[in-house]
Amino acid sequence: MFQIPVFLSRQKTEVMKTSFHEAILWEPLPEKSVRCHACAHRCEIRVGQFGICGTRKNVGGALFTNVYERPLAVQSDPIEKKPLFHFLPGTRALSLGTAGCNFHCTFCQNDDISQLRGEAVYGYDTSCRQLVNGAVEKGCGSIAYTYNEPVVFIEFVLDTAKLAHRAGLKNVYISNGFETEETFALLTGNIDAMNIDLKAFTERFYKTLCKGLLQPVLENIRRAVALGIWVEVTTLLIPGENDSEAEIREIARFIASVSSDIPWHISRFFPAYKMTSKPLTHLSVIQRASEIGYEEGLHYVYTGNVPFESNTTRCPHCGEELIVRHAYRLGKMKVENGCCPRCGTKIAGVF
Ligand code: SF4
């Protein structure tokens, strides 16, 4: 029977060597260079070089990925841990990630896999079929592409997602939202739900702390909703970087402008990776951010990494307590046919 490796990323001696699989979403350029169109960096890559994500290499004038069917981390998680609170609550998601990322966030909490680059990349030899069979055996309702940015293993995502759908599973995609429009065209119909990080509301933050850009992320949140993908948004509040009341309000206002029904997850910062000298986010800031979310018209605001986790879903119309969560465990679940049983208001999500 297929044994799912359980988050063995630190046991480097057991993993397989790098191998290559032809990538999608690229075009040839003069002198055997290529351009990758998977994410908004649109890297121009010379022969023998990797793109910014460190997992896509120009080999002799064609683009290859070295993480196809090579996950570094696989485990069965509650879907609430992604976090997705309004998508099949109470179910489990077989969650997988590979090496590499198209961002270089100084506060990354999975830097031991996401910041691996180039020839140092490794992974378990695990087929798409094995993962889908494993998810079915484990009683999961979905497969989650997570831990690192899934666009860097988009070929692996799409091939697994198609098999997963045939097996009756859903696909959820946890992302920094930096895909291109072309990538979204491929995700449509294959990905059922997304959690997109909206890390801040300034280009300064994205450029200096993530080596990315804000604008494509905003466009992709709008795009994903317009394409009918179920979307939730997460923001990690970092002291002195993105936690002013004005910036929090801008984030909440933007999300509400796309849809008031998008659940917003506000998360508390803990020192990590290269950002170890910052203090934890003050609890009063998290509490105030939650209030601002509601003031700006959002219907569902949740807080993470805090002792008072206000993770109960209430009916936005009558206030009825509908879904009670204890950390990542589902307690009470009263949504009936997608509606509040007390007043009949439709509760946004997939239940
Ligand atoms: S996926 Fe990687 S190689 Fe492709 S554009 Fe993004 S960072 Fe560059």
Do 49 and 196 belong together in one domain? Answer: no
For 307-327, the pLDDT digits (tens) are 766 689 999 999 999 999 988
Judge if the beta carbon of residue 236 lies within 6 A of ligand 1: no
Pairing of strands 301-304, 34-36: unpaired
Do 53 and 84 belong together in one domain? Answer: no
Which ligand 1 atom is nearest residue 54's CA?
Answer: 2
User: Which of 26, 29, 43 maximizes ligand 1 atoms within 8 Å of its Cβ, making it the mutation to test the pocket?
Assistant: 43
Q: For residues 261-276, give the mean pLDDT.
A: 96
pLDDT of residue 347: 98
What's the number of domains the chain is made of? 2
Judge if the beta carbon of residue 157 lies within 6 A of ligand 1: no
Q: For residues 238-245, give the mean pLDDT.
A: 98
Judge if the beta carbon of residue 67 lies within 6 A of ligand 1: no
Asked whether 252 and 298 are in contact (CB, 8 A), the reply is yes
Residue 117 pLDDT greater than 90, yes or no: no
Do 79 and 58 belong together in one domain? Answer: no
What angle separates helix 215-226 from helix 245-258, to the nearest 10 degrees?
Answer: 30
Do 129 and 50 belong together in one domain? Answer: no
CA of 50 to the centre of ligand 1 (A): 9
Residue 86 pLDDT greater than 90, yes or no: yes
Q: How confident is the model at residue 124 (pLDDT cuts 50, 70, 90)?
A: confident
Do 173 and 97 belong together in one domain? Answer: yes
pLDDT of residue 310: 60
For 294-303, the pLDDT digits (tens) are 999 999 999 9
Residue 273 pLDDT greater than 90, yes or no: yes
CATH number of the domain where residue 179 is located: 3.20.20.70
Question: Which residues have C-beta within 8 Å of that of residue 259, sequence separation ≥ 6?
Answer: 225, 231, 348
DSSP state of 308: T
Query: Residue 234: inside a domain, yes or no?
Result: yes
Pairing of strands 73-78, 62-65: unpaired
Nearest CA to ligand 1 atom 2: 53
Q: How confident is the model at residue 11 (pLDDT cuts 50, 70, 90)?
A: very low
Distance CA 156, CA 167 (A): 17
Q: Which pTM was predicted?
A: 0.94
Do 145 and 273 belong together in one domain? Answer: yes
Give percent helix, percent strand, percent coil of the chain, each to the nearest 5: 30, 25, 50
Question: By C-alpha distance, which of 205, 213, 109, 192 is closest to 143?
Answer: 192
Question: Which residues have C-beta within 8 Å of that of residue 174, sequence separation ≥ 6?
Answer: 82, 144, 145, 146, 147, 150, 194, 195
User: Which of 24, 36, 157 maximizes ligand 1 atoms within 8 Å of its Cβ, making it the mutation to test the pocket?
Assistant: 36
Query: Residue 167: inside a domain, yes or no?
Result: yes
Do 189 and 55 belong together in one domain? Answer: no
Do 61 and 77 belong together in one domain? Answer: no
pLDDT of residue 298: 98
Question: By C-alpha distance, which of 93, 89, 91 is closest to 75?
Answer: 93
Residue 12: φ, ψ to 5°: -65, -25
Judge if the beta carbon of residue 102 lies within 6 A of ligand 1: yes
**Is the backbone of residue 285 left (phi > 0), alpha (psi -120 to 50) or beta?**
alpha
Distance CA 153, CA 322 (A): 37
Query: Residue 118: inside a domain, yes or no?
Result: yes
Do 60 and 209 belong together in one domain? Answer: no
The residue segments making up the domain with residue 159 are: 73-333
pLDDT of residue 18: 58
The rounded mean pLDDT for the chain is: 93
Residue 275 pLDDT greater than 70, yes or no: yes
For 13-47, the pLDDT digits (tens) are 344 455 789 999 999 999 999 999 999 999 999 99
Do 120 and 41 belong together in one domain? Answer: no
Query: Residue 5: inside a domain, yes or no?
Result: no
Judge if the beta carbon of residue 42 lies within 6 A of ligand 1: yes
Query: Residue 280: inside a domain, yes or no?
Result: yes
Which ligand 1 atom is nearest residue 39's CA?
Answer: 6
Amino acid identity for residue 35 in this structure: R
Query: Residue 137: inside a domain, yes or no?
Result: yes
Residue 2 pLDDT greater than 70, yes or no: no
pLDDT of residue 3: 42
Which ligand 1 atom is nearest residue 100's CA?
Answer: 2
Query: Residue 221: inside a domain, yes or no?
Result: yes
Do 130 and 51 belong together in one domain? Answer: no
